[in-house]
Amino acid sequence: MSAPAQRPATAGARPERSRRALVAGSVGNFIEWYEFGVYGYFATIIAARFFTPEGGSEVEALVKTYASFALAFFFRPVGAALFGRLGDRIGRRPVLILVIGLMTGATTLIGALPTYDTVGALAPWLLTFLRILQGLSAGGEFGGAVAVMTEFAPPGRRGLYGSWQSFTVALGLLGGAGAAALLATVLTEAQLADWGWRLPFLLTLPMGLGALWLRLRLEETPAFSRERALERHSPPTGEVVRAVALGAGRIMGWAAAGYTFLVVLPSYLQSTLDATFQQALIATVLANLGFAATIVPAGLLSDRVGRRPVMLSGALLVVVLAVPLLNLLQDPGVSNAVKGAAVFAAGAVVGLMAGPGPAMLSEMFPTTVRYTGLGLAYALSNAVFSGCAGLIITETVERTGNVDIPAYYAAATCAVSVLALAAAPARGGKRKAG
């Protein structure tokens, strides 16, 4: 389903309103992915502090940590449906204010949680509860943020504006990696494991308050205000469901490859290839730099040539390059410079999918169901293929001994996205309206 032709969503919008919407929409994504990045980067420490009772193995604890990670993702579709429905009924602005408050509170509390040594088996349950709250809020964040960015975007610039959602994902992951790397440098391993890991989570509080202030100043989007005045009916439910399924398939590779290369990589390098914590973080920073470098150019290019060609290029490159790139990391005879280039390239090809992705999803749904539809498509894909990435990869490598599993996982999911993108109508990209 594609949005029907209508007047540009930003008709009458002043440039400063568009820029304000871009910042207000982006800041929540930064905080969300900063936290998810921090959780992934500190997965081995969190496993030891919350999921390793006396006598438990490190691998078992890491699997449980990723299970908690996955659980938060499975609550994203619930949040997307709940907050998306509200956002399509009462407006984008009030719901985005609500979800940033929920995300900030839950993330800050993780930094203050007692560990297993203090409260025993209650510790992992408390952590899991806060992860669920994060999943709900994250599910409501994406749809609203992308709706705001694209509905305020100037005509012919939806790809560029939507790409900032993905770009702030990269910035958030880089921010989390930077915080983790800084702490690993200035603190001893004992200090980091004892209390240092808490600091990045507690830092979310001032960031969240700043984001809340920005969103309180945000205006409602012209597209939503116009649709509410016209009282247009929503499309049939079956049509929306089909569009959600197609959208999830289109971004499956983005979700899986992104989390494999950008978040799961540190724990994989440590647990499978015996890399140090610092080495793993450096690799992750390089991957995220590659990711960030291509996102905005890819979004801008999609405004000129269409969403589908750019996203197809990224998905096909992952299919072809995933195994060779991972083999370079596994080869002890390969120089660190070449390995650095490999992880940078891995991030860059994911950016080709992530740049046009938000605008592509936005254009699949009319204004009356846009918040819900694009949020559900994104949340469902991420719940299955991002949230489970760490769990699937860690468990499968452990059971099979095959160290190429991460590459196979990324390539297989991108192959499905290639089929979904190739079979889809060519609508989207150089759109005139809507």
pLDDT at 96 over 90: yes
Check: pTM over 0.75? Answer yes or no.
yes
Domain extent, residue 66, equals: 15-423
Q: Please state the domain count of the chain.
A: 1
Tens digit of each residue's pLDDT (9 = 90 or more) over 391-413: 788 788 888 889 899 999 999 99
Tens digit of each residue's pLDDT (9 = 90 or more) over 159-180: 999 999 999 988 987 888 788 8
In a domain, 432, yes or no: no
In a domain, 283, yes or no: yes
Q: Which two tokens stand for residue 388?
A: 């489970």
In a domain, 60, yes or no: yes
pLDDT at 207 over 80: yes
In a domain, 238, yes or no: yes
* Percentage above 70 pLDDT, the chain: 90
In a domain, 428, yes or no: no
Task: Give exposure, 5-42, as e/b (b: 16+ Cβ within 10 Å).
Answer: ebebbbeebeeebbebbbbbbbbbbbbbbbbbbbbbbb
Residue corresponding to tokens 């950016």: 351
* Residue 271: closest CA among 69, 139, 406, 89: 406
Check: CB of residue 141 under 8 Å from CB of residue 99. yes
In a domain, 72, yes or no: yes
In a domain, 5, yes or no: no
In a domain, 209, yes or no: yes
Residue 66 has a pLDDT of 67
CATH code where residue 247 lies: 1.20.1250.20
